[in-house]
Chains A and B, each alone.
Chain A
């Protein structure tokens, strides 16, 4: 059961704490869950895990590569390690360790990257992961999950813990919106249609889901009926729902907080190309490096806002009719 809140407002709960609380909860019944932090437990909000389970939380210091391969080793002994750092370090810094010691070695490691995309804001271009999705998509067996709100985060963390294999969980650190009513349930790999529509489908993930919902409102005002899908599992992607939306609305806009090359837009384009060629436009970062600034500025700078989505939706709607 998925229920959208009547009014979508900023959540009183920061995403990092929603994550950590969910992990602490999951670890109550599963003593195999352990964590590895790399001197960012304050920033990633994961300090409380070690405070709750002192014997199961390890802060290895600023050594992501070592920590990631250690996670592979911990898993080899039967534990379920959750590795925490900023998204840039959790993917590109440790890519070989993630790839070989975790994925290739068929381990049960969960890699968490906070401050994904524009949410890295004041940390600037060096810390702004736009490439992380593409990197992990190219890693065989890895599952990529990007929850859009705290309720979804809490529903997915236990599933991630209880599903064997390597996962990449991508999240903003602080401010997110409450989109779902408490008690909403989600299933890994199954996208959810959170607004019905017939003219175009907006397929979004993470913090851009809220912009897509806003865009759907704006589109309704000009007589375009937009469906909105929360594609929180980016890999393996929900082919069935993408094809269904393509059939029923005939036009797609993907909306993501990452590079459109190899990201959600790339993934959806591949599905459409192979299953049902359909006009598609992509909202996302157009192969650029990140920059410093407040998140709202960056959303404008990289054309991720509701207004940007409206423009693309109008364009793809026109293409469909041409």
Chain B
């Protein structure tokens, strides 16, 4: 599984995730583009070689699992799964339409490759703790990954889940925090003082690493290190930017949920290709 990673391929994969997320949200008119954009890179690493998965057999018992606890970013996960061949690419433009298999919040009932239904913030990480425990109890040697939003850390349940994971010594659980500095109503510190996120996890007994959330090699290596840690769960804090790599979202201060027009989509996709060819992808000359 874990051959020498091809970071160029992972980068291109993340660009395709962004492009298809844009197309998908554009097809329905609006959506959670900000938080979808900021996880495109970690998804590209996970599904671009890190995770042990089989798109032809999504329920394979020996697989690695992913719980997207910030379930509102389903569109980024759907783009990833479609590109991996879990289901046809043309599903992506059915997002949120009647009878779709791709509802805005990640839904394991409908979408092949989605391991847990989420959407009520705080619950996904508890489910991930249960999955990691369930697999360990059944002697299945796999990893459970979980992506949590930085706003989602407001929920007390997240910290209940963390204390359980530590108490249970779940070293098969690897949590990512999408530290994109914003939640729905604004920046983290305007809504609820986040404090030192890294210290908080440390105190809760996690192995903590912080990496640039769009540095593919750094993410890959952080996961490898997390896997080598025994006797405790790991968290990797992804230092990201809400809306990263999607022009129309980057530019807006308030970018949680946005409409995507024809021109907006076209321009954003062209900008991704431009940054790729210039070698500045995904950040370009965007200044935070």
Contact = CB atoms under 8 A, between A and B. Distances in A.
Nearest to B256: A42
Interface in B57-98: 71, 96-98
B126 to A, nearest CB: 13
B156 A127 contact: no
A124 B192 contact: no
A189 interface: no
B120 interface: yes
Contact of B183 (A61, A66, A125): A61
A47 B151 CA distance: 18
Interface string A37-49: 1011111000100
A257 B19 CA distance: 37
A294 B154 contact: no
* Contact residues of A: prevailing secondary structure: helix
Given A125-B103, A292-B100, A297-B98, A43 B119 contact: no
A185 interface: no
B156 A37 contact: no
Interface in A82-124: 88-89, 93, 122-124
B151 A291 contact: no
A159 interface: no
A162 interface: no
Nearest to A292: B103
Q: For B30, B118, B119, B154, which residue has the most chain A Cβ atoms within 10 angstroms?
A: B154
Contacts, number: 86
Contact of B96 (A37, A47, A93, A292): A292
Contacts of B167: none
A141 interface: no
A301 B30 CA distance: 22
Contacts of B117: 126
Contacts of B24: none
B158 to A, nearest CB: 9
B191 interface: yes
B245 interface: no
A122 B96 contact: yes
Contacts of A40: 184-185
A39 B191 contact: yes
Contacts of A43: 184
Contact of A126 (B30, B96, B107, B122): B107
Contact of B119 (A37, A42, A63, A124): A124
Nearest to B102: A292
Interface size for chain B: under 10, 10 to 19, 20 to 34, or 35 or more residues?
Answer: 20 to 34
Contacts of A294: 98
Contacts of B96: 122, 124, 292-293
B185 A126 contact: no
Contacts of A88: 120
A62 B121 CA distance: 8
B184 A39 contact: yes
Contacts of B98: 293-294, 297, 301
Given A39-B184, A122-B28, A61 B119 contact: no
Contacts of B54: none
Interface string B103-120: 111010000000001111
Interface string B146-165: 00000110111000000000
A59 interface: yes
A50 to B, nearest CB: 10
B119 A59 contact: no
A60 interface: yes
B254 to A, nearest CB: 8
A301 B98 CA distance: 9
Contact of A61 (B99, B104, B151): B151
A122 B185 contact: no
Given A40-B184, A122-B28, A126-B71, A62 B103 contact: no
Contact of A59 (B31, B103, B185, B256): B185
Interface string A225-252: 0000000000000000000000000000
Contact of A42 (B99, B107, B156, B184): B184
A39 B156 contact: no
Interface string A53-96: 00000011111011000000000000000000000110001000
B154 A123 contact: no
A61 B191 contact: yes
Contacts of A301: 98
B183 A122 contact: no
Contacts of A39: 151, 154, 183-185, 191-192
A61 B122 CA distance: 12
Nearest to A294: B98
A126 B120 CA distance: 7
Given A122-B96, A124-B96, A60 B192 contact: yes
Give 4 nearest A-B pairs by CB, closest first. A126-B119, A61-B192, A61-B154, A292-B103
Interface of A: 37, 39-43, 47, 59-63, 65-66, 88-89, 93, 122-127, 291-294, 297, 301
Given A42-B185, A122-B31, A122-B96, 11 more contacts: A40-B185, A42-B184, A43-B184, A47-B185, A62-B155, A62-B184, A127-B105, A292-B100, A292-B104, A293-B100, A297-B98
11 contacts: A39-B185, A59-B191, A61-B192, A65-B156, A89-B120, A122-B30, A124-B96, A126-B118, A292-B103, A293-B99, A294-B98
